[in-house]
Amino acid sequence: MEAGEVRYEVQGPQALLTIDRPKARNALSPGVVRELMAALERAESDAAVRVVVLTGAGEKVFCAGGDLGTLAGDEGFLATHEGRRSYGKLLARFQELRKPTVARVNGHALAGGLGLVLACDLAVAVEGADLGTPEIDVGLFPMMMMALLQRHLGRKRALELVLTGDRLPAREALALGLLNRVVPAPELDAAVGALAGKLAGKSQAVLALGRRAFFTAEDLPLPAALEYLSSQLSLNVLADDAGEGILAFLEKRPPKWKDR
């Protein structure tokens, strides 16, 4: 385990990334954004890591969003703007990653913190956690994470969240499709571990191909999406692991993935 604003720890097949600023409600400082980006690169390059789990330190807050104390910046307007763009690049990097990601939502996920939850493939939250976009209450708007919120919710519900700043209890967020599981706090690690274990047991090559196809097709018109996905299926069929998976099914045995 390594110390810093983001702790990186390998636990079996998973890399656990922990935002470690509990006194600041695990807020997203420029350092946190940089360290999260570096941690994703590290996990990507480690062949032993098959799934990435993101969480926050403590038991109350996953991430409270941007650190308002660093919002103005002191390096000039253009440099500060580039720094803000880094958060958007981080959200995109989660989706570009070749490995699946799970958010371990140990507490409230607000503003940019909710953006991190939405950027992860799957999310498990504790009961009692709130999710929301309260930026409007301090005269701001959730600009970059709104791109992900729009892809998760219908227009009316997304607009209600960003315009009012209201918080959603975890169970309501689950019903809206922002989360995959909501569990009591004592069951959080077991639920995340079970989900991460399932992902780690799949062909990493096929997961990478499928995730890229999912996110690419999401922004295409239906005819173009179907045409694109047919080409991706042809690639998938040619993968070594597709042949192994089909053979294992016919032979009624577990597949032995080669991850290629």
Distance, CA of 103 to CA of 122 (rounded, Å): 6
The Cβ of residue 36 has, within 10 Å, a number of other Cβ atoms equal to 23
Distance, CA of 203 to CA of 242 (rounded, Å): 9
- pLDDT of 72 reads 56
- pLDDT of 82 reads 77
- pLDDT of 109 reads 98
Q: Considering the candidates 2, 35, 41, 135, report the single residue annotated as catalytic.
A: 135
Q: Crossing angle for the helix pair 204-218 and 222-238, nearest 10 degrees?
A: 170
Distance, CA of 10 to CA of 45 (rounded, Å): 13
Strand order through the sheet with 181-183 = 6-11, 14-19, 51-56, 101-105, 122-126, 181-183
Tell me which DSSP letter residue 77 carries: H
pTM: 0.93
Give pLDDT tens digits for 151-208: 999 999 999 999 999 999 999 999 999 999 999 999 999 999 999 999 999 999 999 9
- pLDDT of 69 reads 67
- Residue 130's DSSP bridge partners are 169
- pLDDT of 123 reads 98
- pLDDT of 68 reads 75
Q: Which ranges of 97-127 does DSSP label H, i.e. alpha helix?
A: 112-119
> Scanning the structure block, which residue is given the tokens 């890591």?
49
Report CA Rg, the chain.
19
- Count helices and strands in the chain by DSSP H and E runs: 10, 10
Distance, CA of 125 to CA of 218 (rounded, Å): 25
Distance of alpha carbon 10 from the chain centroid:
17
Helix (H) or strand (E) holding 102: strand 101-105
Flag residues of the chain having pLDDT under 50.
none
- Which residues are within 8 A (CB) of 126 and not within 5 positions of it... i.e. 6 or more apart? 105, 106, 107, 170, 182, 183, 184, 185, 188
Distance, CA of 208 to CA of 220 (rounded, Å): 19
Distance, CA of 223 to CA of 243 (rounded, Å): 29
- Residue 8's DSSP bridge partners are 2, 17
> Is 127 annotated in the active site?
no
